[in-house]
């Protein structure tokens, strides 16, 4: 490949740069003297305090015949929703996840009703809301997701930090190798969350038979729950020409 052909190849790659920014795979470059390029990988991480707690709440009834299990479940279900609304949770912040009648022994015709929701609340109210759910009959709850109002803005910040870091690394490499850093000819990126930092669990054990959940909950203070940070990580793979 002569010098003119190399320039044409670089121009072709540059024309694809915008599309390449949405891909996570790295471009495969042919290593040869005429292909004067420099590649860098960089990461940008942004962490913020949570603005929203997404609670996963639910219940399950004791095993009984299907009609009794459904009736008991319907009462608990309505009690939980009514209690949440009385606590100031908007209906738009409550979403059904699942509801099903589960058979324990088909021959004995034993069933239980299981239902789950997600509830959005300010982080500082997470423990309080879990407490009132238990008081209303919740027995199968506890997972909490922590997030922010504008996740895209957080992702953009992480991507911007990664881009800055990529340019800095490219400049340092070029200087160290005694070459002049040229134009950007290819870039790809990937943004992800750090799952272990934005979830935690506060498991609610089912109450013993014969003891009402409302009475059991009144004997204890709300759980101690510490909100977790919300993080986003962006990775950049960039290719620059060098002179």
Average pLDDT score, the chain: 81
Which CATH number, 3.40.50.300, 3.40.630.40, 3.30.70.2970, 2.30.31.70, labels domain 52-148+199-226?
3.30.70.2970
pLDDT by residue (tens digit) across 148-187?
Answer: 999 999 999 999 999 999 999 999 999 999 999 999 999 9
- Rounded to the nearest 5 percent, the helix, strand and coil shares of the chain are 35, 35, 30
Whole-number pLDDT of residue 14: 39
Cα–Cα distance for residue pair 18/23, rounded to 1 Å: 10
pLDDT at 33 over 50: yes
Mean local confidence (pLDDT), 190-219 = 50
DSSP letter, residue 65: -
Tokens of 176: 């160290």
| Contact present, 214 and 12 (Cβ < 8 Å) | no
Q: Classify domain 13-48+150-194+233-242 at the CATH superfamily level.
A: Protein of unknown function (DUF541), domain 1 (3.30.110.170)
Cα–Cα distance for residue pair 73/79, rounded to 1 Å: 10
Integer CA distances (angstroms), 163 to 104, 171, 235, in order:
55, 12, 9
Whole-number pLDDT of residue 29: 61
Structure confidence at residue 31 as a pLDDT band (50, 70, 90): low
Q: Where are the alpha helices (DSSP H) in 62-150?
A: 66-86, 126-135
pLDDT by residue (tens digit) across 92-149?
Answer: 999 999 999 999 776 778 999 999 999 999 999 999 999 999 999 999 777 999 999 9
Cα–Cα distance for residue pair 206/93, rounded to 1 Å: 25
DSSP letter, residue 198: S
Cα–Cα distance for residue pair 73/78, rounded to 1 Å: 9
Q: What are the sequence ranges of the domains in the chain? A: 13-48+150-194+233-242, 52-148+199-226
pLDDT at 221 over 70: yes
Q: Which residues contact 224 (CB under 8 A, 6 or more apart)?
A: 127
Whole-number pLDDT of residue 32: 61
Whole-number pLDDT of residue 86: 97
Neighbour count for residue 212 (Cβ, 10 Å) = 11
| Contact present, 216 and 133 (Cβ < 8 Å) | no
Structure confidence at residue 220 as a pLDDT band (50, 70, 90): low
Q: How much is the CA Rg of the chain, to the nearest whole Å? A: 28
Closest-CA residue to 51 (of 189, 130, 141, 150): 150
Closest-CA residue to 88 (of 52, 50, 120, 54): 120
Paired with 144 in beta bridges are: 55, 200
| Contact present, 119 and 93 (Cβ < 8 Å) | yes
Cα–Cα distance for residue pair 225/124, rounded to 1 Å: 9
Whole-number pLDDT of residue 208: 35
């Amino acid at each position: 490949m002569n010098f003119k052909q190399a320039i044409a190849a670089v121009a072709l790659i540059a024309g694809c740069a915008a599309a390449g920014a949405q891909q996570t795979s790295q471009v495969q470059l042919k290593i040869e003297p005429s292909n004067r390029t420099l590649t860098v990988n960089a990461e940008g991480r942004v962490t913020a305090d949570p603005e929203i707690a997404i609670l996963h709440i639910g219940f399950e009834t004791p095993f009984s015949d299907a009609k009794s299990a459904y009736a008991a479940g319907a009462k608990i279900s309505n009690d939980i929703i009514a209690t949440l609304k009385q606590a100031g949770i908007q209906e738009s912040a409550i979403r059904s996840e699942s509801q099903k009648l589960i058979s324990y022994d088909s021959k004995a015709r034993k069933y239980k009703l299981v239902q789950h929701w997600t509830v959005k609340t300010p982080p500082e109210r997470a423990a309080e809301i879990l407490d009132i759910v238990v008081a209303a009959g919740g027995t199968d709850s506890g997972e909490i997701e922590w997030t922010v109002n504008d996740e895209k803005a957080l992702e953009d910040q992480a991507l911007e930090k990664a881009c800055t870091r990529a340019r800095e690394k490219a400049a340092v490499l070029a200087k160290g190798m005694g070459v002049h850093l040229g134009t950007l000819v290819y870039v790809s990126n990937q943004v992800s969350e750090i799952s272990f930092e934005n979830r935690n669990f506060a498991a609610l054990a089912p109450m013993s038979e014969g003891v009402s959940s409302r009475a059991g909950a009144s004997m204890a203070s709300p759980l101690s729950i510490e909100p977790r940070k919300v993080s986003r990580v962006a990775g950049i793979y960039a290719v620059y020409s060098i002179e």
